[in-house]
Amino acid sequence: MKEVLVISTGGTIASKENESGRLEAGAYSGEELAEKIGLPSTIKVTIRSVLQKPSSHITFHDLDDIRTIIEESESKISGFVITHGTDTLEESAYYLDITTEESRPVVLTGSQRSPDDLGSDAFINLRHAIHAAASADMHETGVTVVFNERIFAARYVKKEHASNIQGFNAFGFGYLGIIDHDQVQVFQKPVRHETFQVSEKQVQVELIKSAMQSSTLLIDACNNNEVDGLIVEGYGRGQVDPALVDGIKEALSNQIPVVITTSSEEGAVYPVYDYQGSAYHLFAEGALLGGDYDAKKARIRLICALRSGSPLHSLYKGD
C-alpha cells in the first residue's frame, strides 16, 4: 500500500463559480476533490488543506510552511502532491525544488478549467499526480510538475498557454516522462540537484524587463528603495536598452546584485557583443550573467542565495 499526502492550496483546480458567474479560487477543499478521482485501492490518500488561495496570492512564507510539512512528514508517506493555481505554479515548483531536502516524489499539479467546467482537467491531473507521487521510479527526480499526462522538471517547466489544457511545457528540454492509463513512465531524470538552506530572512528582489526605448523609471525606483537584488531581462544573448545601463551600474556600485537574463525561450546569456548594454559590457561592470534561466526562476534563485548566504559568483553556471 502506497500512501500519498495531498497538500491543497487552492487555485483553479479547487474553484467554483460564484453568483456573478466568476470563478472563486479555492472553493473546493482537498477532500472534495479527492473523492471524485477514483483511485485504486493500492494507493491511500491523506489530505491536508493548507491554503485556499489563488496562486497569485501565494507567498514565499506559504511555501516555507509547505516545505516544513514535507520535511517533517512520516517516513510511511511515499510521496507528495501539491494542488496549486497555475499562474505561479512554475515559481512555487522551482522554489520548493531548490529549498527542499527530499528524495521522495514531490509533485505539483493544477488545472486550466474548474472542476465543474465541461471537459475539466482538474480530476485527471490530480489523479495522474497522485500516481506519479506513488511511483518508485519518481524518486530522486526533484520537484516535478504533472500536467496533461506529462511530467516536467521544476527547473525548466513554464506555463505556455493562458487557458488551453496543454498549459505547460519545457521549451528545448522536453518532459521527464508520461502517465498513460495510470502507468507512470519516466524516461529521464536530472543529473544534479542542489538545495539552499534558506533562513527566515526576507529579501526583496525585483524584475525589470528591457524593451525598445525603455525609460529609467523602474530601475531608478529600485535603486531609490534599496532593493536587495535586481533581475534585468534582456534580449537574445543578454543585451539591454542603453537607458538601463546607468541604473544597473548604480545598483552595482551600491552592492546590489544584478542578474541579466534572456527573454528568449531557448539559449543562454553570453558575452558575444561588445557595445553599451551588451552582456559583455554589463559583465565587465560586475553584473551576473543568468545563463539559460528565465527571469522568474533567476529571481527565485537569487532570493534563495541571498537568504542562505551563498556565494553569488557562480550562481548561474550550472546546477
What the block records as the C-alpha cell of 112 is 486550466
Residue 87, marked binder: yes
The per-residue b/e assignment along 295-315, b for 16 or more CB within 10 angstroms, e otherwise, is: bbbbbbbbbbbbbeebeeeeb
Given 9, 46, 83, 86, which residue is catalytic?
A: 86
Residue whose C-alpha cell is 477543499: 29
12 as an active site residue: the answer is yes
Determine the distance from the C-alpha atom of residue 215 to the mean position of all C-alpha atoms in its chain, rounded to a whole number: 29
Question: CA 279, CA 235: separation in Å to the nearest integer?
Answer: 10
Question: CA 238, CA 102: separation in Å to the nearest integer?
Answer: 34
Given 9, 12, 141, 261, which residue is catalytic?
A: 12
Phi then psi for residue 134, to 5 deg, are -90, -5
Query: Is 248 within 8 Å of 220 (Cβ atoms)?
Result: no
What the block records as the C-alpha cell of 90 is 512554475
Task: Determine the longest span between alpha carbons in the chain, in angstroms.
Answer: 64
The per-residue b/e assignment along 33-46, b for 16 or more CB within 10 angstroms, e otherwise, is: bbeebebeeebebe
Q: Is 186 helix (H, G, I), strand (E, B) or coil?
A: strand
Q: Which residues pair with 43 in a beta bridge?
A: 2
Question: CA 312, CA 119: separation in Å to the nearest integer?
Answer: 46
86 as an active site residue: the answer is yes
Geometric angle at alpha carbon 277, from 276 and 278, rounded to 5°: 95
Q: How far is CA 287 from CA 89, 229, 258, 303, in A?
A: 28, 11, 5, 16
Annotated binding-site members? 55, 86-87
Annotated binding-site members for substrate? 55, 86-87
Catalytic residue numbers, as ranges = 12, 86
